[in-house]
Structure 1
Amino acid sequence: MELHLGMDEEPTESLWVRIKGKAGTGDTIEGVCYRPPNQDDQVDEALYRQIGAASGSQALVLMGALNQPNICWRDNTARHKQSRRFLKCIDDNLLLRVIEEPTRRGVVLDLVLTNKEWLVGNVKLKGSLGCSVHEMVEFKILRAVRSVHSKLTTLDRKPTVSWAASKEV
């Protein structure tokens, strides 16, 4: 189901959808964004508000070319004001960066962000598609696993204690 996050604001190049989960697994919000390198501050702020609205969900995956070449991901610092504001958005919304490797000419420009560490797995860079200078990023969005309840039963027959464990699935 398509979500209309901040559609009454500055237009951003983004698409937000809610993927309905199977019973007991919960929904996932997925966003795909393209942030042009020369995007102005007002559009950036509109995008950050969309990210903030989406990050309140239980499970979020945000992917796209967010074009922040001035960020040093090793220590999460940036030389430029725009990039510092982007880092603040990631930090404020408790998002985790999934891609560690450069995706374009030695720089991390394409990102996969999530608010749940267990939600994204098997991340691989697959080379470029056609004439693109960006690396293709392949990953899996993992479903939440139902928690397994276990019960420990203690039996007391004699002065010595014996026990048996049983699991409920």
Structure 2
Amino acid sequence: MRRGAMLYRVLTNKEGLLGNVKLKGNLGCSDHEMVEFKILRAARRAHSKPTTLDFRRADFGLFRDLLGRAPWDKALEGRGAQDSWLIFKGHLLQAQERCIPAKRKSSKTTKRPPWMNKELLGKVKRKPSEGGSKGR
């Protein structure tokens, strides 16, 4: 606190995540003060399930058309590499949002690799016959 003025800021990515924010005295000999706060459980539980892009339901024809129709010569003319990348990235993300739907990850798919489909999973789980191994 300087001359009676207090300034502190606690940054979060969710509103209502913190509570009981208090100042807890100086940090050593510094004029900086420690801030104590509690992370609220209810706000943590409201965490959404992660999403992933569902490429099986994507409309790649529309995706190609949207990126192909952009006036790239005019949009990128006279720009440096960084500016050009940001413009391209913006168009790419807009097209992705329109053409590739997102889906929630289920707990079943997060426990196995994405390349292991139902057929492979069935073969892995199938037990060998009780009569011994085939090679004998």
Instruction: Give the TM bin, normalised by the shorter chain.
Output: under 0.3
Greater strand content: 1
Larger Rg, first or second structure (1 or 2): 2
Greater RCO (CA < 8 Å, at least 6 residues apart) = 2
TM-score, normalised on structure 2? 0.27
